[in-house]
Amino acid sequence: MASVWKTAGVGAAAGLAVPVAGLSGLAAAGLTLILVLAMVGVGPARLSQTSLWGLLTSELMLYLLISLAIFTLSFRFLARLQARCQALVGKLNAQQGLSFDAEHLLGYPAPAFLVFDSRNRKLAACDVVNDAYKLHDFSWLLGWQMTWREVESMEMNGGSRQVNRTGMSVPTFERTVRAKDFAIELQTADPQRPVLSFPMSRRAAETWCARLNALFNG
């Protein structure tokens, strides 16, 4: 049970690390640009600064350092996790004499992922937290599909309509359907876990669908 909770915890941390790294990186880039412009006398930041020392000790610099620290920690966590995943695949290849592709991990950055060997028609379910793996033939995977959830909302369409004779008008709305929460869903021959789902972006899901088609049907 402890290993399950540990895997879930690492998975949650990995899921948060990706957006956190992206947002903190954007924030750091924006704050750096503001500080550079302020140093050359451009932008609103220069109005409140009388010297370079004042600029370097300002709140902007503090926010920049915080953003850089968060980005560095998130990036290092993801880099170490990726290195551990690739090391586990390398260990698997060495022990079993197989050719699993460590560059394409279905499920990464989650600590539990699938990896494929098209030459020997094998796949492995790996758990980097417990440094464990389980081998399967390609026949273990019965099928796959891209899934998503549709959300309806009312949005302004840019037009307006007149509501009375005085000419008063109000904006018009239209119903919009958006797709979100994309994932790759696998059907397996395991009666205990017949369905495996890997959340990811729409582009990544489309890429993995094409990759699986190439691996299994190519």
Residue 33 φ/ψ, nearest 5 degrees = -65, -40
Q: What is the mean pLDDT of residues 193-209?
A: 92
pLDDT of residue 47: 45
**Could you tell me which residue, 78 or 18, shows the higher pLDDT?**
78
pLDDT at 130 > cutoff 90: no
pTM score, whole prediction: 0.71
Determine contact, residues 92/102, Cβ cutoff 8 Å: no
- pLDDT for position 195: 93
How many angstroms separate the CA atoms of 218 and 216, rounded? 6
**Separation in Å, CA 37 to CA 52, 65, 103:** 12, 17, 40
Residue range 138-161, pLDDT digits in tens: 999 999 999 998 887 766 665 555
User: Taking 80 as the threshold, does the pLDDT of residue 172 lie above it?
Assistant: no
Of the candidates 115, 118, 120, 121, the residue with the CA atom closest to the CA atom of residue 102: 115
In this prediction, residues 56-82 reach a mean pLDDT of 82
pLDDT of residue 43: 54
pLDDT value of residue 78: 86
Using the predicted structure, report yes or no on whether residue 209 has a pLDDT greater than 80.
Answer: yes
Q: How confident is the model at residue 6 (pLDDT cuts 50, 70, 90)?
A: low
